[in-house]
């Protein structure tokens, strides 16, 4: 009945979506390798009642038209891939990436998924796997009698066997970069899948061609800025209140019209 | 009597029916797997001698909102939610097969898996029936595996697969028992591409902001119709004043 009601409704929905994104960020403030989301809004289409530049008489035209907006819509949630803080854990299978690149992990649906989460463990067969049990690609198997494992800055995984002082190299962890890392599809479990928007993965040795270096014994924390999220939450709540005030005002205007004419 | 009164009355009455549909949506804002109803109005012009200048309104439910609701992770192994498109096939109380998104399952004493509405989940051949078990686990593709009672924890048996379907959205309607069916009446076939999430429930997809604004809108429209009825009454009174003798 009144356009202002529906425009206000789109504002309420947009702020609700924004709060969902903020609370997801806050819930994952301690998740290793988590990249925070940012919500993006855009205005909906305008109804052109009078076209700007239309002729008002033979020689004059309208300097500005009459365009009524119809509200706001949520257009995207963009993942921001800034580096999170690096924490020291001294655990031999914890790896942090300093710089660009993703670990490659074999997803159970058969495709390669990508992750920044370097909390790896050894499974019953000696393979290096993530905490959900998905093996790292290229697959690296540690023999059961290995005494210590060291992972170099370029990803080479070497072990020492009992009785031999030299290191034996058993494999190399390679990193993948993308043209547009924000275009990767997040699928949960700290994993991303390649999509048409991210571009094809460029696989390489860590430390070469602009790829980041690996640091054994450290983990990359979440890149959520808790203070920024709390301030955004205040802004979201006030914007929500303002939108509902606009709806209440329109409601009162209609009530006045119905009762006083 | 001016016929404007009947049109206004009809408007007010259909408006109240639309309000009922809207309030039903609001009442079900926390119901697992609930799909919101759309209330639509249709114009019904009256054809007679001359032009059809009178048009009545009719409220109807043209369809349901099939957008997914929010996902609530409960951690309960028997709670399942469909990941993306798709529905869980269930056997309705009248024996026919229907489908739904509500996956808050529990085991009965006879071994049937029923959801909160009390309808059993369909397997490949009829409702799934489980032998007595210590633990039940439901996999992503709907496979139900159990650790039978009295067996060690390493003995996991597969006992069936939940039927998951994914018919086209244009063919779906909501029956009177709240379960979804196909308009043509046929039973949808099992679809292997539907994935489940175990330990999560899908909440209602009612858009609260829209429902409240609809409520405000309908309330003001109702006031408008009542005002029209009052105006018709005043017209009639003026007419009577003209023809009153003395």
Chain A interface disruption, residue of B220, B226, B228, most A CBs within 10 A = B220
Shared-domain flag, residues B176 and B95? yes
pLDDT-derived band of residue B46, with 50, 70 and 90 as boundaries?
Answer: confident
**Under a CB-based contact definition with an 8 Å cutoff, are residues B204 and B29 in contact?**
yes
Shared-domain flag, residues B157 and B194? yes
Instruction: Give the pLDDT score at A96.
Output: 95
Residues contacting residue A66 through CB under 8 Å, at least 6 positions apart: A48, A49, A50
> Closest approach of chain B CAs to the CA of A8, in angstroms?
9
> Closest approach of chain B CAs to the CA of A146, in angstroms?
29
Shared-domain flag, residues B191 and B221? no
pTM of the shown model: 0.85
Shared-domain flag, residues B97 and B161? yes
Shared-domain flag, residues B187 and B78? yes
> Closest approach of chain B CAs to the CA of A159, in angstroms?
33
* Number of domains, chain B: 2
Shared-domain flag, residues B31 and B120? no
pLDDT-derived band of residue B97, with 50, 70 and 90 as boundaries?
Answer: very high
Shared-domain flag, residues B188 and B77? yes
> Is this complex's ipTM strictly greater than 0.85?
no
Shared-domain flag, residues B87 and B164? yes
The beta-carbon neighbor of A12 closest among B209, B216, B224 is: B209
Instruction: Give the pLDDT score at B246.
Output: 63
Shared-domain flag, residues B51 and B86? no
Interface check for B207 against chain A (CB to CB < 8 A): the answer is yes
Length of chain A: 261
Residue A247 to residue B217, Cβ atoms within 8 A: no
Hey, is B221 helix, strand or coil? helix
Sequence-distant contacts of B156-159: CB under 8 A, at least 24 apart:
B159/B128, B159/B130, B159/B131
Q: Residue B12 has which token pair?
A: 């007010």
Instruction: Give the pLDDT score at A153.
Output: 92
pLDDT of B245 higher than 90: no
Shared-domain flag, residues B55 and B167? no
Shared-domain flag, residues B106 and B31? no
The beta-carbon neighbor of A5 closest among B207, B217, B224 is: B217
What CA–CA distances, in Å, run from A261 to A89, A257, B157, B217, B223? 74, 6, 74, 19, 12
**Under a CB-based contact definition with an 8 Å cutoff, are residues A21 and A34 in contact?**
no
Interface check for B210 against chain A (CB to CB < 8 A): the answer is yes
Instruction: Give the pLDDT score at B1.
Output: 67
Residue A5 to residue B210, Cβ atoms within 8 A: no
Q: Is the peptide bond before A138 cis (omega within 30 degrees of 0)?
A: yes
Shared-domain flag, residues B195 and B76? yes
Q: Which domain holds residue B26?
A: 2-65+206-245
Q: How high is the mean pLDDT of chain B?
A: 90
Q: Which residues on B lie below 8 Å from A12 (Cβ)?
A: 209, 213
Question: Mean pLDDT in runs of 10 for chain A (261 residues)?
Answer: 90 96 96 95 93 89 91 95 93 93 92 94 92 91 90 92 89 93 92 93 92 94 95 96 95 90 74
Instruction: Give the pLDDT score at A137.
Output: 87
Interface check for B93 against chain A (CB to CB < 8 A): the answer is no
């Amino acid at each position: 009945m009144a356009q202002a009601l529906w425009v206000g409704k789109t504002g309420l929905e947009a702020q609700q979506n924004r709060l969902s994104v903020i609370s997801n960020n806050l819930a994952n403030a301690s998740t290793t390798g988590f990249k925070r989301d940012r919500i993006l809004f855009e205005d909906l289409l305008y109804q052109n009642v009078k076209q700007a530049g239309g002729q008002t008489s033979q020689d004059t035209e309208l300097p500005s038209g009459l365009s009524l907006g119809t509200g706001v819509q949520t257009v995207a949630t963009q993942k921001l891939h800034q580096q999170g803080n690096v924490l020291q854990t001294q655990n031999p299978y914890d790896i942090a990436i300093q710089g660009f690149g993703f670990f490659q992990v074999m997803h159970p649906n058969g495709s390669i998924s990508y992750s920044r989460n370097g909390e790896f463990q050894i499974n019953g067969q000696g393979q290096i796997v993530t905490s959900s049990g998905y093996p790292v690609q290229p697959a690296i198997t540690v023999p059961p009698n290995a005494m210590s494992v060291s992972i170099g800055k370029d990803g080479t995984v070497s072990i020492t066997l009992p009785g031999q002082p030299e290191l034996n190299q058993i494999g190399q962890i390679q990193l993948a970069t993308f043209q547009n890392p924000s275009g990767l599809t997040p699928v949960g479990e700290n994993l991303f899948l390649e999509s048409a928007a991210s571009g094809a993965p460029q696989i390489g040795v860590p430390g070469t061609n602009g790829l980041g270096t690996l640091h054994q014994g450290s983990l990359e924390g979440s890149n959520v800025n808790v203070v920024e999220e709390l301030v955004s939450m205040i802004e979201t709540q006030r914007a929500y209140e303002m939108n509902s005030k606009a709806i209440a005002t329109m409601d009162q205007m209609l009530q006045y019209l119905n009762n006083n004419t | 009597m001016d016929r404007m009164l009947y049109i206004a009355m009809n408007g007010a009455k259909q408006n109240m029916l639309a309000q009922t549909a809207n309030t039903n949506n609001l009442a079900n804002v926390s119901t697992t797997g609930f799909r919101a109803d759309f209330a639509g109005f249709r114009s019904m012009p009256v054809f007679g001698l001359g032009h059809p200048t009178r048009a009545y309104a009719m409220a109807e439910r043209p369809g349901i909102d099939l957008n997914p609701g929010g996902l609530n992770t409960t951690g309960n192994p028997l709670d399942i939610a469909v990941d993306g498109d798709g529905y869980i096939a269930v056997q309705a109380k009248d024996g026919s097969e229907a489908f739904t998104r509500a996956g808050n399952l529990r085991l009965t004493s006879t071994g049937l898996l029923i959801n909160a509405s009390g309808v059993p989940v369909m397997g490949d051949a009829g409702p799934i029936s489980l032998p007595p078990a210590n633990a039940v686990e439901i996999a992503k593709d709907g496979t139900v595996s159990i650790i039978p009672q009295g067996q060690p924890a390493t003995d996991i048996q597969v006992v069936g697969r939940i039927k998951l379907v994914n018919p086209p959205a244009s063919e779906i309607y909501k029956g009177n028992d709240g379960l979804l069916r196909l308009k043509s009446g046929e039973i949808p076939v099992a679809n292997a591409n539907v994935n489940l999430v175990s330990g999560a429930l899908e909440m209602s997809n009612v858009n609260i902001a829209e429902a409240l604004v609809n409520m405000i809108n309908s309330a003001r429209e109702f006031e408008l119709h009542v005002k029209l009825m009052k105006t018709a009454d005043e017209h009639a009174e003026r007419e009577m004043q003209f023809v009153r003798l003395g």
